[in-house]
């Protein structure tokens, strides 16, 4: 974190930033974007406008999205920058796996946060879905979103939302009672000792490292099933079913087993594989089996693998998985591998 009172602040090296500026009498009444340009000219006024628009600027603890807002002496301006593109995100038609009056399912790309963060409100999956529904229901019922699952920023794959009051309770119950079955594909370093196994532990976030780890006391029960599909000298392709849905559950369990996810530097993975530099961990929410919360019909939502995955699997001479990797899950399949 960097703080600055009077004068001009020199921006540090590229990457995520947390800046705090205090407004003095000389800047009283100035527009928010002009003030930030004055105290930190290393960022252009145009970029400051984009940082404000995506939600990265907070005035006295409240997020502000109005560039022309006049500021007062004595105020504190806090800035969060995550180093990612300063633009909105809207799901494309290709990313929509299923849509009816009650449900919306997306193939979430890696690199996008699910929920708002201090650095952004725009450019998140939640806001993208809200914008999508708002545009398509402009003259009808106000969009309502039930967000029953979360994926880490760098995890891609199936996300399902209830978009009608009649669907909220039924979909939420399936996730809270663990009747919704979630199948992920993970590319991990090495090869797990057991081909078809499971992890059971209590997980908790360790304050000193901000990592999730297994603990003897105070954690929450986590249960992960897995099956090794294929292996090469460098990595293994693993089918994973998290029976519970704890934060970082899959990442923590495989890291503790000595097989961290490829690209998951935070949990011990390498940042590159087969000569390809990776921006994050390789975990894909591949298939989701649920019952439609209104009709009761069983359905399986399937998210195609990203191009990067296909490229890496080809380099490792590993085959693309198919539906037989999971077995008979019941219900019609929406989407494809």
> Is residue 152 annotated as part of the catalytic site, yes or no?
yes
Phi-psi category of 292—alpha, beta or left, where left has phi over 0 and alpha has psi -120 to 50?
beta
- C-alpha 47/C-alpha 102 separation (Å) is 38
DSSP 234-299: SEEEEEEEESS--TTHHHHHHHHTT-PBTT-GGGT--SEETTEE-SS--EEEEEEEEE-TTT--EE
Catalytic choice (82, 113, 152, 264): 152
What are the φ and ψ backbone dihedral angles of 316, each rounded to 5 degrees? -85, 0
Within 10 angstroms of residue 216's Cβ, the number of other Cβ atoms is: 8
- C-alpha 220/C-alpha 202 separation (Å) is 5
Regarding beta strands 220-231 and 283-291, do their DSSP bridges make them parallel or antiparallel, or are they unpaired?
unpaired
For residue 40, what are the contacts with CB-CB under 8 A and spacing of at least 6? 4, 8, 9, 11, 19, 21, 48
- C-alpha 334/C-alpha 302 separation (Å) is 6
Q: Please list the alpha-helical segments (H only) found in the chain.
A: 32-39, 45-54, 125-136, 165-176, 249-256, 307-315
Position of tokens 């705090």? 20
Active site residues per annotation: 152
């Amino acid at each position: 974190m960097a703080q600055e009172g009077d004068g001009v602040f020199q921006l540090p090296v590229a990457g995520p930033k947390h800046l705090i500026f205090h407004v003095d009498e000389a800047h009283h009444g100035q527009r928010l974007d002009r003030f930030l340009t004055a105290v930190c000219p290393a960022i252009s006024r145009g970029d400051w406008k984009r940082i404000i628009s995506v939600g990265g600027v907070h005035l006295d603890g409240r997020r502000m999205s109005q560039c022309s807002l006049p500021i007062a002496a004595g105020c504190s301006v806090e800035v969060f920058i995550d180093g990612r593109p300063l633009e909105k995100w809207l799901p494309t038609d290709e990313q929509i796996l299923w849509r009816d009056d009650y449900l919306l399912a997306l193939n979430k790309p890696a690199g996008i946060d699910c929920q708002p963060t201090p650095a952004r409100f725009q450019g998140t999956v939640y806001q993208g879905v809200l914008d999508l529904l708002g545009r398509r229901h402009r003259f009808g019922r106000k969009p309502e979103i039930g967000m029953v699952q979360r994926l880490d920023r760098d995890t891609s794959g199936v996300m399902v939302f209830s978009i009608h009051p009649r669907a909220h309770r039924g979909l939420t119950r399936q996730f809270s009672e663990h009747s919704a079955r979630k199948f992920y594909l993970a590319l991990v370093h090495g090869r797990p000792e057991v081909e078809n196994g499971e992890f059971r532990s209590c997980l908790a976030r360790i304050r000193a490292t901000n990592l999730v780890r297994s603990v003897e006391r105070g954690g929450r029960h986590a249960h992960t099933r897995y099956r090794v599909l294929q292996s090469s000298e460098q990595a293994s392709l693993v089918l994973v079913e998290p029976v519970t849905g704890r934060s970082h559950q899959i990442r923590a369990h495989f890291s503790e087993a000595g097989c961290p996810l490829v690209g998951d530097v935070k949990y011990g993975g390498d940042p590159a594989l087969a000569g390809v530099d990776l921006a994050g961990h390789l975990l894909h929410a591949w298939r989701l089996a649920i019952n439609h919360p209104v009709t009761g019909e069983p359905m399986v939502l399937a998210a195609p693998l990203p191009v990067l995955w296909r490229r890496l699997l080809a380099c490792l001479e590993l085959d693309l998985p198919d539906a037989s990797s999971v077995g008979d899950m019941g219900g019609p399949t929406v989407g494809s591998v």
